Amino acid sequence: MGRSLSLVSVLVVSALSAGCTFSKASQSEIFKDGSAPLDLNLPDLTGTDSGGFMSDAHVTCVDANPQTMNVPPDILMVFDRSGSMNDDLNDVPCAGGCGLTSKWSVATTTIEAFLPTAETIVNWGLKLFASGNACQVNNMADVAPAAMNAAAITARLGTTMPGSQTPTTNAMLAAATYLSTLNDGNQKFILLATDGIPTCGKSACAPGVNGGNNQCDDANAIAAVKTVHDMGIPTFVLGIGTANSPGDATLSQMAVNGGFPRNDTPSYYPIGNANDLTTAFMNITQMVGQCFFSVRPALTVGQKIAGVAIDGGGSIPADPANGYTAVGQNGVQLNGQACSDFMSGKITGVKVLVDCNG
């Protein structure tokens, strides 16, 4: 029979006019090694070995000593630098070039302004696609996810211009492969920012798409986002200037497959101006930076997230709209009303329940 651990959040939220801040448990509640007390619900140990614990498979739950922590997640921006990003936000080319009104210029300028406001809440990283001027995609990040990364990302964006195809399938799979090599213990997310139809495939494109070339890749890109999600890496999808794009349905399905669609139509974040982009980044940062909880150290074989309890014994339902969602093997995301209640201070304590069935 399995046992349950109550992993007590060592962070509480205070509702301030400027936003949410978190304070750690008092020093009297924190051990010298930096950990906080755990609420262990274990049966009496009548037979112990020389180490003080009963010698059975369940001891691994105690040895792991996990805690619930609100920690900055890693978000890798997978950013489209295809030639159509030179068009304006209505997806229309400009005679002589669109300059500051191009999708590329509006997006990069807005991102550069926003990132300094959130570089301690999220470990931002950047991967541009394509890696060259056609369909090539490498398995590296242009800027590795890290705290205080706004300047590094701004500098990298300043050294490139759009001009490639849109190899979304390979970009997503390469980004996931890269993130899987990062062993920093943080939950991983992808923020896909693109302006429409995936290309570099072998399918027939819609009329007027990709210059009439039959090289679109909608179905494979949709499947790739699902594959990445099943690896434990959710994806947020932003459509840059896609109001008149035939890729609306594709982007919406990608958002659904990514695990964090908007509760609206379309399911992805439509970006029609700089304010839309800022709002999307703020909402995503709020969700993953303030309402995401990671279990540290990572759960071991035989352990799994079983539920979320709050305050004096209440619970949050498993509900992607207004409850919690388990993210990967070691994270819990509060959604909708649950996130709002946590940020406003209505919920002040979070306990992640872990089943130990070793």
* pLDDT one-digit tens code per residue, 152-168: 999 999 999 999 999 99
Given a cut of 60, whether residue 358 has pLDDT beyond it is no
Q: What is the mean pLDDT of residues 207-228?
A: 86
Q: What is the DSSP string of 7-75?
A: EEBSEEEEEETTEEEEEEPPGGGS-TTS----EEE-----S--TTSS-SSTTHHHHHH--EEE--PPEE
Given a cut of 80, whether residue 64 has pLDDT beyond it is no
pTM for the model stands at 0.75
pLDDT for the residue 1:
44
pLDDT for the residue 211:
64
Domains and CATH numbers, the chain: 3-66+302-356 (no CATH), 74-289 (3.40.50.410)
Confidence of residue 294 (pLDDT cuts 50, 70, 90): confident
Q: In the numeric block, which tokens belong to residue 243?
A: 């109001």
Given a cut of 60, whether residue 51 has pLDDT beyond it is no
Given a cut of 50, whether residue 54 has pLDDT beyond it is no
Distance of CA 238 to the CA centre of its chain: 13
3-state secondary structure of 355: strand
